[in-house]
Amino acid sequence: MKLKKGDTLPDAKVFIFDESPKETSIKQIVGEEKVIIFGLPGAFTPTCSTKHLPGFIGATDQLKAKDIKKVICISVNDPFVMDAWGKIHKVENKILMVGDSNAVFTKNIGAELDLNKKGLGIRSSRYTILVEKGSIVKISEEEVAGKCESTAAENFIKEI
C-alpha cells in the first residue's frame, strides 16, 4: 500500500446504497470527522464475513468511546452487494457500507490485489485506517488478505 501515516486521504468516487445506488466521494463521506475505514477483499467472502465485518459491528461502543464518529466498510463490490451484505449482518446505522465498484479508491491508495487466480478479479487488500480531519493517523494492512489480525477491530482499537 502506498498510503502511509501523515498522508492526506485521496479522493475517489464510490457508491452507497440509499434506496438506490448513489455516487458520492470518499472525502464527502469522511469529511473532517474522526473515522475508521476498513477495506477488504470482498463481501460474502469467508474471513470478511466471519471476522472483519462482525468485529467492527461488535466494537461499536468501544469506537464511540474513542470518539470515532463513523465506521466505513469499503470493498470492490457494487452497492447492491454491499447493501445486501450489510443487511445480512445487521449493520444498521453502525457501519456505512461502501462499494468501490471500479476500484478507483482502492487503486488510489495502492491497495489493489489481483485475485484473478481465485476467480475474484481485482480486489482490495485487507486494511484498517484511522482518518482524522482528512489525514491518515494510523494504518494497518495484512500481508495475506485471508488473515485478519492487525486489521481486526479488537486489535486495531487497542492501538488508537
Catalytic choice (36, 40, 48, 148)? 48
User: Is the residue at 94 inside a domain?
Assistant: yes
Tell me how crowded residue 107 is: count the other CB atoms within 10 A of its CB. 17
Residue 73 falls in the annotated catalytic set: no
User: Is the residue at 45 inside a domain?
Assistant: yes
- When divided into structural domains, the chain yields a total of 1
CATH of residue 135: 3.40.30.10
56-59: Cβ within 8 A, 24+ apart:
56/94, 56/95, 56/153, 57/89, 57/90, 57/91, 57/94, 57/95, 58/153, 59/153, 59/154, 59/157
- Beta strand segments in the chain, E: 13-17, 21-25, 34-40, 70-75, 96-99, 112-115, 121-124, 127-132, 135-141
CA–chain centroid gap for 43, Å, is 11
Residue 68 forms beta bridges with which residues? none
What's the pLDDT at 1?
A: 87
CA–chain centroid gap for 60, Å, is 15
- pTM score, whole prediction: 0.95
Domain residues for the domain of 78 are 13-150
User: Is the residue at 47 inside a domain?
Assistant: yes
Which residues in the chain come in under a pLDDT of 70?
none
What's the pLDDT at 9?
A: 97
User: Is the residue at 24 inside a domain?
Assistant: yes
User: Is the residue at 31 inside a domain?
Assistant: yes
User: What are the tens digits of pLDDT across the range 37-47?
Assistant: 999 999 999 99
Amino acid at 6: G
Please tell me the distance from the alpha carbon of residue 68 to that of residue 21, in angstroms, as a whole number.
26
What's the pLDDT at 119?
A: 78
Cell of 49: 464475513
User: Is the residue at 131 inside a domain?
Assistant: yes
User: Is the residue at 2 inside a domain?
Assistant: no
